[in-house]
């Protein structure tokens, strides 16, 4: 019970502190306290809640943001708010500076800092940061991703060598055993390596093999018999040609 009261008191203290700030100050504070892209959604949500509970208008259009008692036009992706709108002037926007980006329409006064692909975390840059998109990281050669954020890799680990009898083609998170050959139904064609699986083929059916062997033998006997018959006929014909013919006298 005491723990619940303590947590509640802490929560109320934070809320009171946030309500003393306007929405821009709140987000700026959060941007200072956080450095990972996963916290931007939290920052935006707290900004919305602060606006609602501070009496800011909640009927702004999707392309507007609330500030004090009015709605201001959001800045486009790749920009951030320089000055909020007034009755007599629209919102003033400024392009994101180097090493920062904004991937959506916004009412924030700062762009998000670009992510750095840390080689110490096994990462390298796949796509560079631009004013409208963050850096995209991918694992270094010989590393595999262990922590994802959307389609981006945030952390990677070094690959280890596969043990004997296992392999990985580079896309597996763990080594897999080689396909077994030299069994009753399969025979090994090519042994596996650390990066490739073994290659096997099915054994031919015993009856089918016997039938093929029988056909080969029968065909061979028939061909030899035909050749022998032809040889006999040739000998007989030759002898007949060499036998002298007697002429009858009148």
pLDDT at 80: 97
pTM for the structure as a whole: 0.52
Residues 192-213: what's their mean pLDDT? 75
pLDDT at 127: 94
Residues 162-167: what's their mean pLDDT? 88
Residues 38-53: what's their mean pLDDT? 51
Most confidently modeled range among 24-38, 111-125, 206-220, 222-236: 111-125
Domain edges within the chain: 64-113, 115-159, 160-199
Please name which of 131, 134, 101, 109 lies closest in space to residue 32, comparing C-alpha atoms: 109
For residues 187 and 76, give the distance between their C-alpha atoms in angstroms, rounded to a whole number: 64
pLDDT at 105: 96
How far are the Cα atoms of 68, 241, 242, 245 from residue 248, in angstroms, in the given order?
146, 19, 19, 10
Partners of 144 in beta bridges: 157
Residues 28-50: what's their mean pLDDT? 49
Question: What separation, in Å, do the N-terminal and C-terminal C-alpha atoms of the chain show?
Answer: 152
pLDDT at 24: 45
Which pLDDT band, with edges at 50, 70 and 90, does 208 fall under?
low
Instruction: Confirm or reject CATH 2.10.50.10 for domain 64-113, answering yes or no.
Output: yes
Q: Out of 29-43, 53-67, 86-100, 102-116, pick the least confident.
A: 29-43
pLDDT at 245: 56
Which value, in Å, is the radius of gyration of the alpha carbons in the chain?
A: 42
The sign of the CA dihedral 193, 196, 198, 199 is negative
Domain 115-159 sits in CATH at 2.10.50.10
143 versus 31: which is more confidently predicted?
143
């Amino acid at each position: 019970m005491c723990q619940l009261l303590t947590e509640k008191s802490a929560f109320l203290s934070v809320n009171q502190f946030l309500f003393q700030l306007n929405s821009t100050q709140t987000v700026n504070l959060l941007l200072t306290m956080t450095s990972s892209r996963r916290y931007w959604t939290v920052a935006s949500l707290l900004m919305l809640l602060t606006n609602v509970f501070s009496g800011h208008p909640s009927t702004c259009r999707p392309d507007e943001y609330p500030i004090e008692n009015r709605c201001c036009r959001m800045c486009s992706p790749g920009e951030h708010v320089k000055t909020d709108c007034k009755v007599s002037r629209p919102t003033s926007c400024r392009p994101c500076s180097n090493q920062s980006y904004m991937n959506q329409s916004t009412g924030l006064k700062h762009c998000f800092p670009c992510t750095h692909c840390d080689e110490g975390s096994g990462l390298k840059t796949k796509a560079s940061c631009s004013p409208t998109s963050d850096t995209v990281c991918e694992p270094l050669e010989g590393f595999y991703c262990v922590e994802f954020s959307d389609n981006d890799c945030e952390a990677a680990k070094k690959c280890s060598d596969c043990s004997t009898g296992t392999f990985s083609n580079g896309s597996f998170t763990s080594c897999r055993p080689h396909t077994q050959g030299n069994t009753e139904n399969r025979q090994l064609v090519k042994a596996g390596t650390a990066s490739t699986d073994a290659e096997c083929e099915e054994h031919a059916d015993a009856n089918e093999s016997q039938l093929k062997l029988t056909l080969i033998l029968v065909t061979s006997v028939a061909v030899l018999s035909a050749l022998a018959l032809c040889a006999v006929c040739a000998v007989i014909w030759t002898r007949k040609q060499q036998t002298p013919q007697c002429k009858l006298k009148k």
